[in-house]
Amino acid sequence: MTTILLFIFALAHAALVVWGLMSLRRTRLATMLMILPAIVILPYENAIIASGRWIGEGDLLRALSWPRFAAHLLLAPLWIIAAGSLARQAGLKWAQRRWAVVAFCVLATALIVAVNIPNLIQLQLHPACFAETLRYAETVTANQVCAPGQALARGGGPIAAIVAVVVVLIVAGLIWRATKWPWLFLGAAVLFVTSAIPPSAVGPAPGSLGEVVMGAAFIATALRFGRDAVSPRHIAPQPA
């Protein structure tokens, strides 16, 4: 069942990528350039996890798994910049200030450079099994071992990802309050809840579901507040 769900989520993410690229081509919204990179890798990620049982444990699956971790670490913080850009497009006064633009960019860059790149350099992947799935993961708990005697592993916590989701939640809440548009907040809330559920207990499917909902909410919100923006210059910083 988990394998089927992951293949479904891979197709859902692929549909989001197509939707986002078509929207970018039509509207030329610069915000899409911050939203889409973290989504583009997700069809691949879900397909690799779903296919792991057939690929088999070993160097090939480990090598195929590494790009999905690298993409998450290097691209997910871009959603912080996207949230700030959406706040500008939604007309929030504080988001029009230069300091706000700089703050979002600095925070995202700091998370990538100071937190995620060191984590990527030290990344160690280990086989992890759940239900009928086989994947490579940083953390392997007792109920995820693939064979008797396999050593357990504890990877670093997703600090940057948590910070990014919390920032999006806060900004989305302010957008909801100012514009009565709740969908970005609800999408971020779903991702926050599903990401908090440990994969060791329920497998990777809930997290993938949260990413589908968050991606759809981001794209829909960009289109909702970017109707008048037809080129990147529309979100250029304004004087403080």
Q: Where are the domains of the chain?
A: 2-125+156-224
Rounded CA separation 128/58 (Å): 12
Position 22 pLDDT exceeds 80: yes
More confident residue, 134 or 198: 134
Instruction: Tell whether the model's pLDDT for residue 225 goes beyond 50.
Output: yes
Q: List, for residues 45-88, the tens digit of each pLDDT value.
A: 999 999 999 999 999 999 999 999 999 999 999 999 999 999 99
Element (H, E) at 14: helix 2-27
Task: Give the pLDDT band (50/70/90) at residue 227.
Answer: low
Whole-number Å distance between alpha carbons of 207 and 9 = 10
Are β-strands 126-130 and 133-137 bridged in parallel, bridged antiparallel, or unpaired?
antiparallel
User: Which residue from 5, 9, 74, 1 is spatially nearest to 42, judged by alpha carbons?
Assistant: 9
Distance from chain centroid for Cα 61 = 22
Q: Which residue has the higher pLDDT, 149 or 81?
A: 81
Of the candidates 29, 41, 42, 44, the residue with the CA atom closest to the CA atom of residue 82: 29
Where do we find the tokens 């990777």?
Answer: 204
- Strand ranges for 18-153 from DSSP E: 126-130, 133-137
CA distance 174 to 49: 36
CA 48 to chain CA centroid, Å, is: 16
Write out pLDDT tens, residues 169-215.
999 999 999 999 999 999 999 999 998 887 777 888 999 999 999 99
Check whether 237 has a pLDDT greater than 80.
Answer: no
